[in-house]
Amino acid sequence: MNNNLRLIVMDNIADLGNKIKSHLNNMNSNNEDYIVKIVNNRFSNGEGKVVIKGSVREKDLYIISDVGNYNITYKLHGHDTCMSPDEHFQDIKRVISATSGHAYRITVIMPLLYQSRQHKRKGRESLDCALALQELERLGVNNIITVDTHDPNIVNAIPNIAFDNFYPTNFILDDLFKEIEKDNLIVISPDIGAMERARYYADKLKCDVGLFYKRRDLTKVINGKNPIIEHAYMGSGVDGRIAIVVDDMISSGTSVLEVAKLLKERGTKKVYLIVSFALFTEGIDAFVEAYQKEYFTKLFTTNLSFVPQEIKEKEWYHEVDLSILIADIINTLNKRESLERFFQ
């Protein structure tokens, strides 16, 4: 079926898209140019449009986007403006609109799922992730693919189309084990929400698991969150052990660095941080300082969302390439084969 396979790679994920194309060529022993070129125009008042520059008629189409990329800019009333996740998502919809009625099947691949942290409602607040997924369904999308989404239960918002959430665990552990021994490990969940993920890692590693409970001040909201008063530890001792702190994403990193500090104070030999998405929303100064104080040894993350080059060059940063995983998923779907092996 690969002769009908086409990729639309948004500007925000171009490097990963080119790697995916190369893997697809290797998997199918060809030199096919799977990427359909598009022009993403932006008017001076901020409005935009997408023009498809190649044929997508009866093609199995995969739209790939990094909605978290803050390195894409445009002129808004003469000022350089960084594109927000909202604007990246709007561009996905523009591509769908431009191809709808022509493509045989449309699959949207958002490794970092749009608005994934706004996945449930508490009181009178918006339910953005569910609304976005339902909008994609109404636009005619057949499949949605994401990686390590904040809450997999968001699939319940779109029960009538395929929604697949994959995990980078094996790829990250392969790289991790090139650096550490498998003995005397303990996996740490930085909060209750990450506990299921931590148990999954612990099961893979056949080791113990511990948990830090975030006690928050529910009377205040700072930067959209209730501030943390205390990290209370629950679990077996960590003295002399190698701790692996796992989570789906970090923003400023304040919470995970505090956990690393507390682990070192409890006698942990080394602390490794593992996150699927490192957003670094407030820069890297805190990580540089924590590394200098030996609170952690290395941060492992994926190349599925934008990270500035200056951070990639830090000795404590390790990027795990997931392009072959995405390519393999695309290739398997295009051939109408089962995805079961990816979930084992």
pLDDT per position as a tens digit, 276-300: 999 998 878 999 999 999 999 999 9
Is the separation of the CB atoms in 34 and 21 below 8 Å?
yes
Alpha-carbon distance 45 to 76, whole Å? 6
According to the model, what pLDDT value does residue 155 have?
A: 92
Query: What's the distance, Cα to Cα, between the start and end of the chain in Å?
Result: 25
Give the residue among 70, 89, 65 at the shortest CA–CA distance from 80: 70
Q: Are strands 79-82 and 73-76 parallel, antiparallel or unpaired?
A: antiparallel
CA-to-CA dists, residue 38 to 7, 95, 210, 260, angstroms: 11, 9, 48, 44
According to the model, what pLDDT value does residue 1 have?
A: 60
**Residue whose structure tokens are 């030996």:** 294
Residue ranges of the chain whose pLDDT lies below 50: none
Is the separation of the CB atoms in 202 and 235 below 8 Å?
no
| pTM score | 0.91
Which segments within 191-324 are labelled E, that is strand? 208-216, 228-234, 242-250, 270-278, 298-302, 317-320
Residues ≥6 apart with Cβ < 8 Å to 214: 190, 191, 192, 228, 230, 231, 255
**Residue whose structure tokens are 């523009």:** 94
Domains of the chain: 2-167+323-343 (3.40.50.2020), 169-320 (3.40.50.2020)
Sheet order of strands, 242-250 included: 228-234, 208-216, 185-189, 242-250, 270-278, 298-302, 317-320
